[in-house]
Amino acid sequence: MSIQTLATEGDYALVERTMQIAAQLNFVCKIYEHQDYKSGKTSDEAAATLGQEKSKIIKCLFLKDKSGRSYGTILRGCDSLEFKSLATELGTSKSQLRFATPEEIENDTGYKLGGLPVTAFKEKGVPTFVDENVIKEGTTTGSGGTEYHAMEFDATQLLSTLGYKISKLAR
C-alpha cells in the first residue's frame, strides 16, 4: 500500500485507519489522494477527478432495515441499486429497506458519506453484497477513507479476502 501527502489531520487519521484495516485483512490496495484535493463524494465526481469511467468506480451503499439492522452493498458507479433484488436476498420486502442517513453512516462506521471504504463493512461485521458487475471489472477504485482519497484494488478480493456475497443488485 502507498499513500501520498494528506491535507488535514482528520483525513490523515481516516486514511491511516483504512490502511490499517486493509493490512489486518490482507486486502491488497493502493490508497492515494485525489489530484488537487478534489472531491470524489459522488460517482460522477470520482470519475471526473480520477479520469476514469464510472464503470471502474465503485460505490459503497450503507442501508438499514426497519429493525435497525445494517447492510452493505457495493455497486459500480454507473449502476443503481435495485432494492427488490436486495430484499429478495435478505428474505424481506423492499419497503423494509432504506439508505442510511449521513449521521447513521458516520455513527455506525466512523466514516463520512462519500468516504466509506469497502473494508469498513468487514471491520464492522455488516453483511455485504457485491453486484456481479463489480467483479467483472477487475481492477476498480473506491473511497480510500475520505471523499478526497481513492482506494484501487482487484475487485475479486471483495469475495476471496473480505468474504462478501456476490449478487445481482444493479438495475
Coil, strand, or helix at residue 41? coil
In the prediction, which pLDDT does 8 show? Answer: 63
What cell numbers appear for 97 in the block? Answer: 429497506
In the prediction, which pLDDT does 31 show? Answer: 95
Among candidate residues 59, 21, 55, 27, the one with its CA nearest the CA of residue 40:
59
Coil, strand, or helix at residue 61? strand
Query: pLDDT tens, 135-155?
Result: 999 999 999 999 999 999 999
Query: pLDDT tens, 20-32?
Result: 999 999 999 999 9
pTM equals 0.92
Q: What angle do CA 170, 135, 6 make, to 5 degrees?
A: 95
Average pLDDT over all residues of the chain: 93
Q: Are strands 70-76 and 165-167 parallel, antiparallel or unpaired?
A: unpaired
| CATH architecture for the domain at 9-167 | Alpha-Beta Complex (3.90)
Provide Rg for the chain, Cα atoms: 15
Does residue 115 carry a pLDDT above 60?
Answer: yes
